[in-house]
Chains A and B, each alone.
Chain A
């Protein structure tokens, strides 16, 4: 069965090609169906592979060679896929949730003129994402990594008529390039150190290198992860990326692409185990991002922005777990997060759909009657993300926090605060959106309707998963089996939790009680007292204003990085290029005709300058070589 793994990325690729070439000529139904069926087929193959792995617990990884890729004197890189417990789990998440979101998109994008283009990009994205997790060496991962970045760029700017959206797309791309640079340097360093970039070769001998090299590699890879998974200081693109259609936000910017950084760190865990220093950096950056983004989430009014900051914050929690060495717990959280965050985004999409494009929660309210299915499913998702006892988010978050407590109580404390803040702003969103009276325009109220079946079906499925998804990782002290921990054992050995059972129960109780208290508080503020977010910025208190404006991080970046760069480019363009070079060209066009006058012009101005600059260069070179 494992041999068929090549089919998994092949189906989306075929879907991409068909939609790319013939999409315009096909009906919307057909084009959507082809794209969805391609992903479904991948999902089925992934499931078969997954069960195959389960049935043969003795062989934990399979390398499937597709073709010989690069052969040169010093470099031999085969195109190989690695099927093991980690990659098969990610395959299921990508294709499973990917399929549901494809179905949802058929309903959501129905009115859009770029329907087939949308599915083309979406299939291409899934293809690259699958490459990313399936590759057996860092180069294939990098190809996938860049590919998903490209698709994300295309999809954020999908509604390209809006300049703001284009800027968002550009921002995402540039931020990611900064991260990619770190990743690429990391790969190069791995190649220099170990002479290979295949996982098998590298991890086998990784321990041979000294700790400082491991630290360098780990940090460079982490810079890559910072970009893709939106961590401080490279996170600002993700909230802006919400410019894309909502299904894109759900698939790419919540469930799959942004978790690529987590996948990469887990895959390379050997470097992080070797380097406690790098792990510490990961943990600190993670928790800082988590807390930072959660506070911003408190005062946002755009329903998708709130979810975006929440995603940044949840990713921060995952990195915090990774830093603490809780690899399988973090993967567990990736999975549950994929369920409930995709659900919340799709739910938000359904709300936006019903509101005719309105995204501001100040204009909503009382929607639960009009959108019963959306309301119920989103409510379950909110319970899950808030970590209410028994829901999937509870178990995964609890596991991460338990490991973190052991690693450092200080980090645990901030992590716990983050998760309480999460409960608060998520319930704020729920209360303002679904309860109370309607605050939108009259037309909007008239227009309110539940979304079509194709959109509610994925919501229901994801809601079920959000509720029961935690069962695969029950805490051990319950006497139950932590299935996912054992399943990932061969890929990432996670230190055993040394906390006593009573300690663990105390931590768990703190979290549960805390969540309930915070939810009650949110209830008091937004339901009982009907407090509404302020309309005008000037009414806000200074701190509130600071947070509302996202700590002005964008403005600071703009000032520190973009302005100086623009300035340099502008100077070069204005003086070196425009004055010296263009000056002649323009002058020639207007002032002269006839070769002789060109000659005259050339002699007075520029060519002597060119030659002068060459001579100066020559002088410098000769001086450097012979006189010094």
Chain B
């Protein structure tokens, strides 16, 4: 079809959807709808992972982001009873400024990345890196140190969250 392979078609459609949903996240007034669009965005990105032959990442992405984190978001939003009415109204001027700044950012980003489409992106490593076995090998061999030290990061975040959340005992 039009000289594109099926993978390229899929890539195009997924990218379009991902960007559209991402825009919807920002544009929707209702926070709950926002979160739902975010979930959809994550699904599209998981699709990209699949195209890249990284099934494990795709699954983990859905489980962790779309599953755990988004549910948490929803809980928070519902518990705090945030909805359209409580959202502060933005002034026109701030909207204009935001639109201009965002547009300009887009403009310079495109400018910065232009010309890279003709470039032959080299394929690094082997194409099956996303499979569980290969990923495990890399993670527990080359990237052992970052993998382990990430636990310190998680621990710190956990302690921090508890400290902020805990009631002061006097």
Interface residues of A (CB under 8 A from B): 596, 600, 603-604, 608, 612, 615-616, 618-619, 622-623, 625-627
CB pair B105–A615 under 8 Å, yes or no, is yes
Nearest first, the 7 A-B pairs at minimum CB distance are: A622-B108, A626-B112, A627-B111, A619-B104, A615-B101, A626-B111, A623-B108
CB pair A612–B111 under 8 Å, yes or no, is no
CB pair B97–A612 under 8 Å, yes or no, is yes
CB pair B94–A608 under 8 Å, yes or no, is yes
Cross-chain contact of A619 among B88, B98, B105, B114 (Cβ < 8 A): B105
Q: B121-159: which residues lie under 8 A (CB-CB) from chain A?
A: none
CB pair A627–B98 under 8 Å, yes or no, is no
CB pair B108–A619 under 8 Å, yes or no, is yes
B92 at the interface (CB under 8 A from A): no
B109 at the interface (CB under 8 A from A): yes
CB pair A619–B101 under 8 Å, yes or no, is yes
From residue B133, how far is it (CB to closest CB) to chain A in Å?
Answer: 40
Closest to B106 in A: A619
When distances are taken between beta carbons in the complex, the residues of chain B under 8 Å from A612 are 97-98, 101
From residue B54, how far is it (CB to closest CB) to chain A in Å?
Answer: 30
B161 at the interface (CB under 8 A from A): no
From residue B49, how far is it (CB to closest CB) to chain A in Å?
Answer: 28
A618–B101 Cα gap in the complex (Å)? 10
State the majority secondary structure of interface residues on B: helix
CB pair B88–A622 under 8 Å, yes or no, is no
When distances are taken between beta carbons in the complex, the residues of chain A under 8 Å from B6 are none
CB pair A626–B98 under 8 Å, yes or no, is no
| Most A-side CB within 10 Å, residue of B105, B108, B114 | B108
When distances are taken between beta carbons in the complex, the residues of chain A under 8 Å from B108 are 618-619, 622-623, 626-627
Contact with A along B102-118 (1 / 0, CB 8 A): 10110011011010000
A619–B101 Cα gap in the complex (Å)? 8
A625–B109 Cα gap in the complex (Å)? 11
Q: List 26 A-B contacts (CB under 8 A).
A: A596-B80, A603-B88, A604-B88, A608-B94, A608-B98, A612-B97, A612-B101, A615-B102, A615-B105, A616-B101, A618-B105, A619-B101, A619-B104, A619-B105, A619-B108, A622-B108, A622-B111, A622-B112, A623-B111, A625-B112, A626-B108, A626-B112, A626-B114, A627-B108, A627-B111, A627-B112
Closest to A600 in B: B88
When distances are taken between beta carbons in the complex, the residues of chain B under 8 Å from A616 are 101
Closest to B103 in A: A619
Closest to B101 in A: A615
Extra contacts, 7 of them, besides A612-B97, A616-B101, A619-B104 (Cβ < 8 A), are: A608-B98, A618-B105, A619-B105, A622-B109, A623-B108, A625-B112, A627-B111
When distances are taken between beta carbons in the complex, the residues of chain A under 8 Å from B105 are 615, 618-619
Closest to B89 in A: A604
When distances are taken between beta carbons in the complex, the residues of chain B under 8 Å from A626 are 108, 111-112, 114
A616–B111 Cα gap in the complex (Å)? 16
A604–B88 Cα gap in the complex (Å)? 7
When distances are taken between beta carbons in the complex, the residues of chain B under 8 Å from A615 are 101-102, 105
From residue B82, how far is it (CB to closest CB) to chain A in Å?
Answer: 10
When distances are taken between beta carbons in the complex, the residues of chain A under 8 Å from B111 are 622-623, 626-627
When distances are taken between beta carbons in the complex, the residues of chain A under 8 Å from B88 are 600, 603-604
When distances are taken between beta carbons in the complex, the residues of chain B under 8 Å from A625 are 112
Closest to B104 in A: A619
Closest to A596 in B: B80
Closest to B94 in A: A608
